[in-house]
Copies of this chain bind each other. A is one copy, B any other.
Amino acid sequence: MRLVIARCQVDYAGRLTAHLPMAKRLILVKSDGSVSIHADDRAYKPLNWMSPPCTLVELPAPAPQDDAVPGSEQLSALWEVRGRDGDTLQISLGEVFHDSSHELGVDPGLQKDGVEAHLQALLAEHPETFGSGWTLVRREHLTPIGPVDLLCRDAAGAYVAVEVKRRGDIDGVEQLTRYLELLRRDPLLGTVHGVFAAQQIKPQARTLALDRGISCVTVDYDVLRGMDNADERLF
């Protein structure tokens, strides 16, 4: 990983074109080949970047011109980064304040807990959350337009498609609606109900769901995890 603090001017041409006027910034070159240009704000997002795979060519600085515009800055280097899709990042470096390289090695990586996958797993283990006598048929049940998070059967044996979200938004309802439309074309399944399950469901999403005959269930992640723990203690 190489850290450069320098005045620089940047031009990106790719999916869009973007220009950064000359200013003092951080240029971060990672060993994966990526290059990113950071200002002292915008949180972790760089002003400009190039994702790997890409190649960085470091050109010598052009010699100072006799007819240089007065006040124009002497450049110290010109970097050209070229991406896979032909997009380019041109970095003109002026004064360099810092330049260091560091060997970091391979990172052991991030361990996450509490994302949708985990919520789905907990609900798959506890379909009774939706109603007494409910059973799980399959997780990630495939349809031609994508996987239904959970396919269950209610106490009466009718199929129910469950869409699991951390945040229940209108998009999730649309998604479930599309799945239901397809599932209902399958005569083998018979009647298929819909359940929209999320930790929080926005009012508009709830309204849309109910209008379409889809049930809404807000689930408490901590309670579910508690059930999980209780189960473990029993065995």
Find out whether the CB atom of B43 lies under 8 angstroms from the CB atom of A110: no
User: At the interface, yes or no: A111 with Cβ under 8 Å from chain B?
Assistant: yes
Q: A16 and B104 in contact (CB under 8 A), knowing A30-B43, A174-B174? A: no
Q: How many copies does the complex hold?
A: 2
Give the interface residue-count category, chain A: 35 or more
Task: Tell me the bound Cα distance from A38 to B29 in angstroms.
Answer: 11
Encode contact with B along A33-47: 1 for CB under 8 Å, 0 otherwise: 010101111111111
Find out whether the CB atom of B25 lies under 8 angstroms from the CB atom of A107: yes
Give chain A interface residues in 113-129, CB to chain B under 8 Å.
Answer: 113-115
Q: A36 and B43 in contact (CB under 8 A), knowing A25-B107, A112-B18, A114-B16? A: yes
Task: Tell me the bound Cα distance from A108 to B145 in angstroms.
Answer: 45
Find out whether the CB atom of B23 lies under 8 angstroms from the CB atom of A31: no
User: Of the 9-residue stretches A62-70, A94-102, A188-196, which lies at the interface with chain B?
Assistant: A94-102
Find out whether the CB atom of B47 lies under 8 angstroms from the CB atom of A51: no
Find out whether the CB atom of B115 lies under 8 angstroms from the CB atom of A16: yes
Task: Tell me the bound Cα distance from A233 to B107 in angstroms.
Answer: 55
A27 to chain B, nearest CB (A): 12
Task: Tell me the bound Cα distance from A30 to B106 in angstroms.
Answer: 25
Q: A145 and B44 in contact (CB under 8 A), knowing A21-B108, A111-B18? A: no
Encode contact with B along A43-63: 1 for CB under 8 Å, 0 otherwise: 111111101100000000000
Find out whether the CB atom of B111 lies under 8 angstroms from the CB atom of A1: no
A-B pairs, top 10 by smallest CB distance, nearest first, are A39-B107, A16-B114, A36-B44, A32-B41, A40-B104, A34-B43, A31-B40, A43-B51, A44-B49, A19-B111
Q: Which A residues fall within an 8 A CB radius of B?
A: 1, 3, 5, 15-21, 23-26, 28, 30-32, 34, 36, 38-49, 51-52, 97-98, 100, 102-115, 145, 166, 171, 174, 204
